[in-house]
Amino acid sequence: MKTNKTSIPVALTIAGSDSGGGAGIQTDLRTFAFHCVHGTSAITCITAQNTLGVFRVDAMPSEAVIAQIRAVVEDIGVQAAKTGMLLNQEIILAVAQEVRTLQINNLVVDPVMVSRTGAQLIDDDAIQTLRHELIPQAAIITPNRYEAQILSGLEIVSLEDMQNAAQIIHKNLGTKAVLVKGGGMSGGLKGVDVWFDGERLEILRTKQVETKNTHGTGCTLSAAITANLALGKDLWTAVQEAKEYVTTALTYSLDIGKGQGPVGHFFPLLEK
Ligand SMILES: Nc1ncnc2c1ncn2[C@@H]1O[C@H](COP(=O)(O)OP(=O)(O)OP(=O)(O)O)[C@@H](O)[C@H]1O
Ligand SMILES: Cc1ncc(CO)c(N)n1
């Protein structure tokens, strides 16, 4: 039997491993697969994590992160890439240098700094390096409420605050577009995101999904944007379709573990 020689877009995720499979590398690769995009990865750290929390984090040596990125880009090539949990200043610097040297385009930076519950995940030096070295190379960054507060210097409680923060971040940080995510907002703003690209200020609204199982929403959203860019979609279309994807994944979220379960990606199969 002859094999089908399939040409397929390729995306790269530079992120941490989540042993519970709900966020990080695991959900990124799953998201790429459900977009029919071949997923490649550079692992930055290994978390011992489940639906209840993160119990241990081990960083990879920055040389190992560099080697993974080079192995993928120099042989296979990537149409788009995303960064997730980069953990420390040394890894952020290494990633920023590789992105520059290898001329990785269509870069989506999910600036994982603070969890949706408000806990800071990386130290202050690392935040400065993310801000000055990596974010200026991004096509889009996707901060949650708390990350947008750090990057803009604004306290964010209202939709107007989200809009102002998106504009300040765009002006000060040199990224092409900003999506401030509303998962950490209260009341009717949960699920409302704000987009700014220097010209258009848009509000992405969706129905609020009533579930405690929201683990991995941020990773899924940025991975879906990356997959859509790898497929050749423009940035705004990539974001709109990714927002629809994460909303559907939330409505199919998985009731596993004793805490916050992950969003569910199997809906295209379940809906058949
Ligand atoms: N209950 C909800 N209903 C609808 N949309 C939601 C809900 N919770 C989060 N979202 C959406 O999920 C996406 C991720 O946003 P969120 O603010 O949760 O990111 P995050 O904090 O980076 O996520 P994570 O928990 O993975 O770290 C956004 O599009 C947000 O609007
Ligand atoms: C590995 C990893 N990356 C990102 C997040 C943020 O959701 C997480 N909890 N774990």
Residue 132 lies in domain: 10-261
**Of 23-32, 39-48, 144-153, 263-272, where does mean pLDDT reach its minimum?**
263-272
According to the model, what pLDDT value does residue 89 have? 96
Residue 1 belongs to a domain = no
pLDDT of residue 105: 94
Which residues are catalytically annotated?
Answer: 181, 214, 216-219
Contact, 150 vs 128, CB < 8 A?
Answer: no
With vertex at residue 250, the alpha carbon angle to CA 49 and CA 109, rounded to the nearest 5 degrees, is 65
**Which of 217, 240, 241, 252 is the best mutation target for the ligand 1 pocket, counting ligand atoms within 8 Å of the beta carbon and taking the most?**
217
Candidates 46, 64, 32; CA nearest to 265 is 32
pLDDT of residue 72: 98
Contact 42, 74 (CB under 8 A): no
Edge-to-edge strand list for the sheet holding 38-49: 54-59, 38-49, 10-18, 80-83, 107-109, 140-141, 177-180, 193-196, 201-204
* 271 lies in some domain: no
* CATH number of the domain encompassing residue 257: 3.40.1190.20
* Ligand 1 pocket member 181 (CB < 6 A): yes
| Closest of 223, 201, 212 to residue 250, by C-alpha | 212
Residue 143 lies in a domain: yes
Residue 65: CB within 6 Å of ligand 2? Answer: no
- Poorest-confidence range of 77-81, 166-170, 182-186? 182-186
Q: For the chain, how many structural domains are there in total? A: 1
The Cα–Cα gap between 49 and 158 comes to: 32
Say if 2 falls within a structural domain: no
Spatial distance between the Cα atoms of 178 and 201, rounded to a whole number of angstroms: 10
Dihedral of CA 137/140/146/148: which sign? positive
For 121-138, how does the pLDDT look when each residue is reduced to its tens digit (9 = 90+)?
788 899 999 999 999 999
State the pLDDT at residue 213: 95
Tokens at 166, concatenated? 């998106």
ipTM of model: 0.98
pLDDT tens digit string along 15-53?
Answer: 999 999 999 999 999 999 999 999 999 999 999 999 998
Question: Is residue 59 a part of any domain in this protein?
Answer: yes
Q: What are phi and psi of 270, to 5 degrees?
A: -70, -30
Is 43 a member of any domain?
yes
Q: Supply the pLDDT for residue 6.
A: 76
- Local confidence band at 208 (pLDDT 50, 70, 90 cut-offs): confident
The Cα–Cα gap between 85 and 91 comes to 10
Is the minimum distance from the CB of 231 to ligand 1 under 6 angstroms?
no
DSSP 135: G
Residue 269 lies in a domain: no
Residue at 266 is within a domain: no
